[in-house]
Amino acid sequence: MVPLLIPLAPLAAAAVAGVRPGRWTAPLVTCAGAVAALAGALRTVLQVATTGNPLVPLRDVVGVDGLGGLVVGLVALVGTAAAFFSWGDLDVPDGEDGRRRLRRYYVHFNLFLFSLLAVPLVLDAALVWIAVELTTLLSVFLVGFDGTRESLEAAWKYVVLTLMGAAIALLGILLFYWALREAGGYAFTWDGLRRAAPRMPPSVLVTAFLLVLVGFGAKAGLVPLHTWLPDAHSQAPSPVCALLSGVETTAVLYVLLRLLPVVGASSGARADVWVLGFGLVSAGTAAFLMIQTTDYKRLFAFSTVEHMGIIMAAAGIGGPVVWYGAVYQIASHALTKALCFFAAGAAHHCTRTREMARVRGLLHLSPVAGLALLGGSLAIAGSPPFAVFVSEFAILRGAVAEGRLVPAGLLALFIVVAFCALMAHVTPMVFGRPPSSGTPRIPALCTLALVLVALPVVALGLFTPGVVHGIFRLAASSLGR
Amino acid sequence: MPVGPLVGALNDLACGAFLLTAFALVVVRQVQECLWVFVLQSVLLASSSFLLAVRLRVPDLVAVGVLTLAVKTVLIPWLLRKTVQEEIYARRELAQLVTVPASLLVSLALAVGAYLLTTPLGTATVGAGRANLPIGTAGLLVGAYTLAVRREAVPQVIAILAMENGAFLAGVAVAPDLPLIAELAASFDVLVIALVMGLLTRALHEHVGTTDVATLRTLREEPAPWSPS
């Protein structure tokens, strides 16, 4: 029963924020809704991890297994932190105009969170497509929230390219349904698709998968349809960036990772090489583009493209250790990227600029912001003792053990390039002589949000608790054939 | 007298006309005309689902057709007019990035490509819906091309809706018994697309002063001219 209630919490919060958009009520109910969703998600994950069985409250429609539980947990955790950060960070004028902006922000924030939670909870593939489409439509106005020329441009590119991708993916989903009908008598769920796969026509299966890969790849930020991503992920308010970059891309990638084993289960169809190719090209392109960024939020946005590429490549390489590493990477990327964007938000709060060249000596200006930015960058670049190091190491180790030396070597190269780019840009921002002006104080709620995501980023780098290991193992097994 | 072949032939006709409307969307020169072509295309999509409902004996498709008519020929034009009124009624030439003959050639090539792409998938929906899959795919690809060459906001919105029409035209043949709840949700989704993009167009009009979205090129990697480097 609990999985059904998880997305309803932000939905209720959206309704309250719409009716009473007060300076206190709107953020308060948003945080309460997010915390309730987080509690429900943790309970569900705990139950799935300890029993090892999926929870299915509505047969063939709503359910949670290892991979779904992992994504629900990540969305709820990042969503909660983003709700607190919004409360501390969002600055609106008094009066009617401010009320309108508060209403617009918090209603869309909660609806966006609702759609993100729905993606991993829904089992029916056609309904998942609609949930993914809703994540775009409900976040457009958050991307364009500032109302500036740049933010509206970013919102337009975001909505046009991702909806175009979604239309292509729709044809793919409909072809999957056709293939399923040809096999006869299975439900249109991830599980049904996988069980029916051996009896599906392989040509239809591969065409369908490629359409979904291209279509949803555009939304997950895979090259060459990634161009909207650095724009949207840099123009939105920072807590929204954390949601977009941390978990929205993950939720879309989740759909692709659900369909990959369906193709793998068929005898005549292969899709790994496509997934591996898309992944490597994305990781490589993004790593080199990171060198020439001038805006620190764009730097982190390109890093998202790189990480999506790494996870896709890992899913394409295959093998138990690599799958485990890919799942670990999903979790570590989502949390670390949220940390990076919260740190970027804190830096923006202190300096009021997004240009890297104009930020110097952040550590002296505001130790919290400086430390968060440095730690977040080191963590996302993959240095120990943070979570991304463990997951990337597992992927590379597994790939070498599988004998896939070329992809492993390329991935290692891209990771090193990205590391250098991140450090070259961030070090001068953090150290050096501080400017004379700036706001040194970070709102307490923003610091709370930073701590909320920083703790698991460090903890998962040092050890993997039993429950977390259990859910990772279950999730990795559903990536296997 | 057997009605089956007649219904099948009528469906082929509807699909053929659908492809023509996809081409027309690439070349028409006014926003108002774009909208009318889209309405016509949606009527053709609805007729194809009615015809296939008879041919494949799937009563659900009647509901799908009625939904299509209600949402795409009534609600969406109404919504677009509500949100971006002055844009729709502006009687002016639409700028294109590519000349009309070149665009038509590309669209034709895309249609042939769609046919070649879908032929190897087999003829599982024998007879009645055989034209739907290739022409739906062609509608999808030509729609994507329209999206790329249109400079204005409203024609881009219509291009996205036309892409979805293409996917649905293929869908009524390959997935005629898709659960109605999914069809309902998809119609709702299309409505939200029109609403969201209409409101965003209005915001662009208000804050940026243009809906010529091709001029939106501020966000890129080169350092801004005012930055000290």
Residue A404 main-chain phi, psi, to 5 deg: -95, 75
Distance CA A40, CA A4 (A): 9
Chain A residues with CB under 8 Å of B122 CB are: 201, 203-204
CA distance A151 to chain B (A): 9
pLDDT tops 60 at residue A319: yes
**pLDDT-derived band at B225, boundaries 50, 70, 90:** very low
CA distance B19 to chain A (A): 17
CB pairs under 8 A between A and B: 147
B122/A204 touch (CB, cutoff 8 Å), yes or no: yes
Q: Residue A152: its pLDDT value, please?
A: 93
pLDDT of residue A60: 87
| B86 pLDDT above the threshold of 80 | no
b (16+ CB within 10 A) / e for B45-70? bbbbbbbbbbbbebebbeebbebbbe
| Higher pLDDT pick, B94 / A120 | A120
With an 8 Å Cβ cutoff, are A149 and B207 in contact? yes
- Residue B224 is predicted with a pLDDT of 45
pLDDT 10s digits, A224-243: 899 999 999 999 999 999 99
What are A380's strand-pairing partners?
A: none
* Residue B227, pLDDT score: 38
pLDDT of residue B83: 86
Task: Name the percent of chain A lying above pLDDT 90.
Answer: 81
In this predicted structure, which of A78-92, A372-386, A453-467, B84-98 has the lowest mean pLDDT? B84-98
Residue A272 has pLDDT above 80, yes or no: yes
Q: Which amino acid appears at position A73 of this protein?
A: G
CA angle A338, A344, A346 (to 5 degrees): 105
Residue B226 counted as domain residue: no
User: Nearest residue of B to residue A167 by CA position?
Assistant: B164
Tokens of A45: 């994950």
Beta-carbon separation of A357 and B136 below 8 A: no
State yes or no: pLDDT of A108 exceeds 80: yes
Tell me the shortest Cα–Cα distance from A463 to chain B, in angstroms: 38
Residue A55 DSSP SS3: strand
What is the rounded average pLDDT for all residues in chain A? 93
pTM: 0.95
Residue from A60, A111, A114, A160 whose CB has the most chain B CBs within 10 Å, to mutate: A160
Task: Please indicate whether, in this complex, the C-beta atoms of A171 and B137 are within 8 angstroms of each other.
Answer: yes
Model pLDDT, residue B45: 96
- pLDDT tens, residue by residue, B8-33: 889 999 999 999 999 999 988 888 88
Predicted pLDDT of residue B179: 84
CB contact under 8 A, A133 and B124: no
From chain A, pick out residues whose CB is under 8 angstroms from the CB of B64.
none
Domain assignment present for B60: yes
Residues of chain B found within 8 Å of residue A199, distances taken between Cβ atoms: none
Residue B124: closest CA among chain A residues belongs to which residue?
A: A182
Whether the per-residue pLDDT at A95 is higher than 60: the answer is yes
The chain B residue lying nearest A181, using CA atoms, is: B175
Q: What is the pLDDT of residue B90?
A: 67
Among B136, B193, B186, B88, CA closest to A160: B193
Task: Please tell me the distance from the alpha carbon of residue B25 to that of residue A127, in angstroms, as a whole number.
Answer: 29
Is B202 within the bounds of a domain?
yes
Q: What is the predicted pLDDT for the residue at B228? A: 38
User: What pLDDT score does B125 carry?
Assistant: 52
Q: Poorest-confidence range of A157-161, A435-439, B17-21, B82-86?
A: A435-439
Does A384 have pLDDT greater than 50?
A: yes
Cβ distance of A126 and B203 shorter than 8 Å? no
Give Cα A415 to chain centroid, integer Å.
Answer: 19
- Residue linked to tokens 């609990």: A2
CB–CB contact B179 A126 (8 Å): yes
Q: Answer yes or no: is B72 within a domain.
A: yes
The total number of structural domains in chain B stands at 1
Position B106 in a domain: yes
Q: Which pLDDT belongs to residue B214?
A: 76
Least confident of A99-108, A251-260, B40-49, B80-89: B80-89
Residue B159 inside a domain? The answer is yes
Give yes or no for a contact between B134 and B196, defined as CB atoms under 8 angstroms apart.
no
Q: Does A444 touch chain B (CB under 8 A)?
A: no
**B191 pLDDT more than 90:** yes
Tell me the chain A residues in contact with residue B208 when contact means C-beta distances shorter than 8 Å. Answer: 149, 152-153
pLDDT of residue B127: 54
8 Å CB contact between A207 and A175: yes
Mean pLDDT of all residues in B44-69? 92
User: Mean pLDDT over all residues of chain B?
Assistant: 86
E strand or H helix at A316:
helix A296-317
| ipTM field | 0.93
- Please state the rounded mean pLDDT for residues B145-160: 91
Return the half-sphere exposure (C-beta side, CA atoms, 13 A cut-off) of residue A141. Answer: 26
Within 8 A of A207 by CB-CB distance, chain B residues are 117-118, 121
Domain ranges, residue B199: 4-214
Task: Judge whether B225 lies within some domain.
Answer: no
What is the average per-residue pLDDT within B30-50?
A: 93
Q: Hey, which residues 349-378 in chain A have their CB within 8 Å of chain B?
A: 355, 357-358
The confidence score (pLDDT) of residue A480 equals 79
For chain B, say whether A187 makes contact (Cβ under 8 Å).
no
Q: Please report the pLDDT score of residue B226 as a whole number.
A: 41
Nearest to A144 among B120, B179, B200 (CB): B200
Q: So what's the pLDDT on residue A133? A: 95
Q: Which of B149, B152, B177, B189 to mutate to test the interface with A (most CBs of A within 10 A)?
A: B189
Q: With cut-offs at 50, 70 and 90, classify the pLDDT of residue B91.
A: low
Question: Which of A57-61, A75-79, B9-13, B83-87 shows the lowest per-residue confidence on average (mean pLDDT)?
Answer: B83-87
